[in-house]
Structures are given as C-alpha cells and as structure tokens.
Amino acid sequence: MEIVVSGTRPTGILHLGNYYGAVRNYVRLGEDKNVKGYFFIADYHSLTTHNNPAELKVLVKQTIATYLACGLDPEKVVIYVQSDLPQIPELYLLMNMLAYKGELEKVATFKDKIKIHKENINAGLLTYPVLMAADIIIHRAHKVPVGKDQEQHLEMTRNFAKRFNSRYEVDFFPEPIAYNFGDELVKVPGLDGSTKMSKTGGETNAIFLNEEPESIRKKIMRAKSDGGPTTMNQEKPQEIINLFELMKIVSTPDTLAFFDNAYNNCVIRYGDMKKQLAEDMVNYLTPIRTRINELINNEAYLQRVVSRGAEEARESAAKTISEVRKIMGISYF
C-alpha cells in the first residue's frame, strides 16, 4: 500500500487553479485502490503568519467544505484537521532536535516571509519545514502531491527522515517524494494576462469555486485580451493563450477547435469567445458551487467528517510515535 499525504493551509474557498492543479489530483489519488490517502487542513501552519481566531474558524470550515465539494470522498481517504492530532506536535518537537538553525535559515520560503513579516519573525516560521516534515512522516508517507513551490520543503523532509534513520541506525522513515502528476499537471492561467491564477491577484485574476454565475460572467468578459490577430496563423500573445487554456479546461474540444480556427483565420470575435467561455465555466463550476453552499450550512456533517478522519489518522500517527519513542530511547520502564 502506498501512503500519500498532503495538506492545505486553510485559506478558505479555493479558486479554479487550486482545484484543477491540486484538489482534482487528490480526488484521483483517492480513487486508486493501492493508495492510502491522508489529506488535512494545515491550521498550525497558518498560525505562523496569521493570528485571527474568528477568521481561522471560518477558513477551516470553508476549506473542508471545498475539499468535499470537489469530490474528495471521506469513505476513500482520510480527511482531518492537523491540530486534531497531538502526535504531530510531538514528532515536530522530536524532529526539531535533528534540524539545524543554519539549514532552516536558508529555506527560500522563510527568507521570503521574513521580508514580508519583518515585525513577526517567529520560531514557528523558522521551523515551518520541520512541522511539515512531521505532517508527512507521521504516517510514514511515500508520496506527497504538492506543487513546485513545495519542492524545497520536501527535500528537507527527506533530509530529516534520512538523518533520523542514520542517527538511530534504523530504516524507519521512507524518503517521501513530491508527486506532481508529470505532464498532466496543467497550470491554470489568470484572467489578467498572468500565467498563473492566484488568490492575491484577487478580483480580476481568479475565479473562485463558489463564485456566482453573474460574477463569473463579468470577470470573464473583462478578462484581458488584445486587438485581435492581423495575419493568418499568427502566434498568440499570453493573454489570448490564457483564454484558450481556460477553454481547454471547461469547454468541449469542438468549441476549442472552432475558436482556434477563427483565430488562425483572423475572424475571431473575442466577445463571442468570452461569452462561450463564461457559459462553459458557469456550467463547469455550478455543481461544485451548489455543493459548497450546501456543505457550509451543514456544520454537523463537516464536523462528523473531520472527527472520523482524525480518529483514523490518530491511529496511524500513534503507531509511528510509539515506534519513534522506542527508537529514541524515550521509554523507561
């Protein structure tokens, strides 16, 4: 059985890029009978930069609802909240003894974050990769579906796992690898001409999974385009490539081919293309939006899912911790 673990910081309702780039792949992994999947909300990690209790409550619930609405099935994978597993902070503490200040200070995400949060350079931020390693190795995972931006964290996880194995002369933790679905990983572009849909691009760049049809239509009609092609088979500028990329995701191959031909023959009308894209986008997202709205209002169900998930995840985590304690000599009588 292959163990797969991945976490998401609770950032609330995700956008199309998060769905298509990440959550959809969790769902596919969950369908694989040879995979044991653990998917969790990394609420502790979000505390390294945020400190708003009321907001955290809302964001965690929204993130769970989004996971479920996207099709992650609690019957097939384990869905839980990080802070429901006391074994994670315990392993984090133990792994901190194996993590060097020097290597932590060199991590790119740490260097970026301390530039943005000069007033709050806390130890949690420095040891973020140790906590992430604990998240992963607590289930002795083999694969971690994450984006490229997490590659360095994963390399550190492997280092910590290796260091533990060699220091205690055991072969206990596997060295987990990033699992990014090879060529299938499609980057979802933004609506503002940028190559990546991102939350910080906000109002003009991203389409959120719970976005109302009217708002989707407005955003797409306002998406960046150019003056149109002037010669046959002309290369497309980035903002036009983006519209076609989005169409590839939500429209039929026939629709895509129709507008591609129109572009190549210089008869394309971007207004028509955007209208079509908007309708296809609305149809694509409507089931997810409906489901998110249902789930957000069903707190009892959300709670049931994560408390069951936590129970199962704790079982796996407790096994690991008890072995780790034995290996490290933390068992005296």
Which of 4, 95, 144, 240 is in the footprint of ligand TRP by CB under 6 A? 144
HSE (CB half, 13 Å, CA atoms) of 101? 1
Catalytic residue among 106, 111, 162, 199: 199
Instruction: Report the nearest approach of ligand TRP to the CB of residue 5 (Å).
Output: 6
Nearer to ligand TRP, 160 or 284 (CB): 160
Label the pairing between strands 35-41 and 143-144: unpaired
The candidate with the shortest Cα–Cα distance to 204, out of 15, 65, 10, 8, is: 15
Which of 16, 37, 43, 45 is in the footprint of ligand TRP by CB under 6 A? 45
Catalytic residue among 36, 61, 113, 219: 113
Determine phi and psi for 197, rounding to 5 degrees: -70, 130
Question: Does the active-site annotation cover 111?
Answer: no
Which of 3, 4, 6, 19 is in the footprint of ligand TRP by CB under 6 A? 6
* Among the residue ranges 6-14, 26-34, 96-104, 183-191, the one whose residues contact ligand TRP (CB under 6 A): 6-14
The span from the CA of 22 to the CA of 184, in Å, is: 11
The span from the CA of 130 to the CA of 117, in Å, is: 20
Angle between helices 299-328 and 53-69 (to 10 degrees): 100
Instruction: Report the nearest approach of ligand TRP to the CB of residue 7 (Å).
Output: 3
Question: Does the active-site annotation cover 196?
Answer: yes
Which of 42, 107, 306, 313 is in the footprint of ligand TRP by CB under 6 A? 42
The candidate with the shortest Cα–Cα distance to 216, out of 272, 284, 268, 270, is: 284
Nearer to ligand TRP, 145 or 193 (CB): 145
Which residues ranging from 198 to 237 are in contact with ligand TRP (CB under 6 A)? none
Contact 209, 292 (CB under 8 A): yes
* H-helix segments, 202-298: 202-205, 213-221, 238-250, 253-264, 270-296
Which of 2, 9, 177, 260 is in the footprint of ligand TRP by CB under 6 A? 9
294 C-beta neighbours (distance < 10 Å), count:
13
The span from the CA of 256 to the CA of 158, in Å, is: 42
* Among the residue ranges 145-153, 179-187, 263-271, 294-302, the one whose residues contact ligand TRP (CB under 6 A): 145-153
Contact 197, 207 (CB under 8 A): yes
Position with the least CB separation from ligand TRP: 7
Instruction: Report the nearest approach of ligand TRP to the CB of residue 272 (Å).
Output: 38
Longest dimension (CA), the chain: 82
Site map (CB under 6 A) of ligand TRP, residues 123-142, x = contact:
---------x--xx------
Catalytic residue among 196, 224, 236, 319: 196
Instruction: Report the nearest approach of ligand TRP to the CB of residue 65 (Å).
Output: 18
Contact 127, 152 (CB under 8 A): no
* Among the residue ranges 3-11, 12-20, 54-62, 294-302, the one whose residues contact ligand TRP (CB under 6 A): 3-11
Question: Does the active-site annotation cover 113?
Answer: yes
Nearer to ligand TRP, 47 or 318 (CB): 47
Termini Cα distance of the chain = 34
Which of 79, 99, 146, 288 is in the footprint of ligand TRP by CB under 6 A? 146
Contacts to ligand TRP by CB under 6 A: 5-7, 9, 42, 45, 132, 135-136, 144, 146, 150, 153
Active centre residues (catalytic) = 113, 196, 199
